[in-house]
Amino acid sequence: MSKQNLSCDILVIGSGPGGAVTATLLAEAGRDVLLVEEGRHLPAGKVGSYSLAEMDLKYRHGGLAVSMGKEKISYVEGCCVGGASEINAGLYNRPSEQTLKDWAVEYRVNDFSPQSLEPYFAANEQQMSIATFPGDLPAASRIIRAAAQGLGWQAMEIPRMWHYGSNTRQSMSEVFIPRFLNAGGRLRPQVRVKRLNWWGKTAKEAIGHRIRIKFNHAFVCGGAVQTPVLLRRSGVRRNVGNSLSMHPAVRVVARFENNINDPNEGVPVYQVTQFKPHITIGGSYSGRPHLALWLAGRKDFAKYIDEYRRLAIFYTLIKASAKGTVRAIPMLDEPWVNLPMGPADWDLLKQGLTHLEEMLKEAKAVEMFMPDRLDLSTIHLFSSCPMGEDITRCAVDSYGRVHGFDNLYINDASMLPSPPGVNPQATIMAIARRNAEHFLNQT
């Protein structure tokens, strides 16, 4: 079968927080934009949150991706229109001002002060309906709040990208994708770009299975794993896929005397911030299947699952310093991902677990199921193509253009120079908005 031929002025690859913001702002400026997404375009409410159907339809590999190397760390990637914004809790954290200042200095990022970024954060927050929980907090969040107060620790409710009136997640498919389509943008789901072709320093076309797309400019927004593997498969390798970073987490199940597990709560919105940015403590979604996963292997498994309303999952998460790699393997479609842990990272995790145990004791947990070994997982990946003018370690310049190329850009989590220590969505969206505006001013 012959390839289908398409053309556009601007091609955006990937529709997560970076890609959706980029495509929408460019289309609303009157540019001819084609947005392609490997996953499906699913209507809101088609599948339940945290369900097996959601994992099958919205997660890459059903949520079962594992890094190789010495540490086997599981990680998740969204694979649907809207990307990770469709599957997470919608927690919204701005990075600390110190983090932004450090990135600007260490990686030589131009025009990157907290003051210069403020308008981009503010615009996204207004459009995404950032809100706190109405009324009193659900039980698991109250437990975290009360325990932190008892220990004299700083803690806070994390706002969410959530419309509480209709109880809907303010994901990319709810907010930005409709705007993109209304502005005349073209969306093509279930299109996987395998490589980019160019002549000299100019990218010319994207090649996928039975599709060829010609363009004038391309923004690669596939995320911290898929962006570098596409670029490396296309021959772009300088500082690409050499510095993958993460927030690794360890989870603990705790049992209480009374029912504290509300199936409608979702992810608790309260977090301990006393040890940020290096250590965060909070709660995870605690549905019966998720509890079963973390309790698997126990002889008394059935007994505890029967009383699951008295159980909840909590975590400690750290800002890791070790750098991993992403590689394209010849003849294979999937990337090789290595996420190492350094001695300092293990020390931080042990500190985090100690603090988590302190919190659960203060919360009067009657039993804690500590992991026999540290099963590490992460939902936050970034930094595989860092931004900045330091060409010895940065893949893209201060505004996302790939060093050495004149019409190729990155605008997603892979640009963040290092782990931010908070949920990265707010940072990704603000930088994407900033870079899209700069692109429009330059072209």
Q: Check: pTM over 0.75? Answer yes or no.
A: yes
210-239: pLDDT as tens digits: 899 999 999 999 999 999 999 999 999 999
Residue 214 in 3-state DSSP? strand
Amino acid at the residue 157: E
CA angle 224, 318, 421 (to 5 degrees): 60
Neighbours of 188 (CB within 10 A): 17
277-292: pLDDT as tens digits: 999 999 999 988 888 8
Amino acid at the residue 310: R
Domain 1-51+78-90+93-127+171-241+382-443 has CATH 3.50.50.60: yes
321-333: pLDDT as tens digits: 999 999 999 888 8
141-160: pLDDT as tens digits: 999 999 999 999 999 999 99
- 31 pLDDT exceeds 90? yes
35-44: pLDDT as tens digits: 999 999 997 7
What distance in Å separates the CA atoms of residue 441 and residue 443, rounded to the nearest whole number? Answer: 6
Q: What is the pLDDT of residue 372?
A: 66
Torsion over CA of 246, 247, 250 and 255, rounded to 10 degrees?
Answer: -150
Domain boundaries, the chain: 1-51+78-90+93-127+171-241+382-443
Of 155, 158, 172, 99, nearest in space to 130 by CA? 158
Q: What is the pLDDT of residue 2?
A: 63
194-213: pLDDT as tens digits: 999 987 778 899 999 889 99
Band the pLDDT of 46: cuts 50, 70, 90: confident
Residue 398 phi/psi, 5° resolution? -65, -15
Neighbours of 119 (CB within 10 A): 13
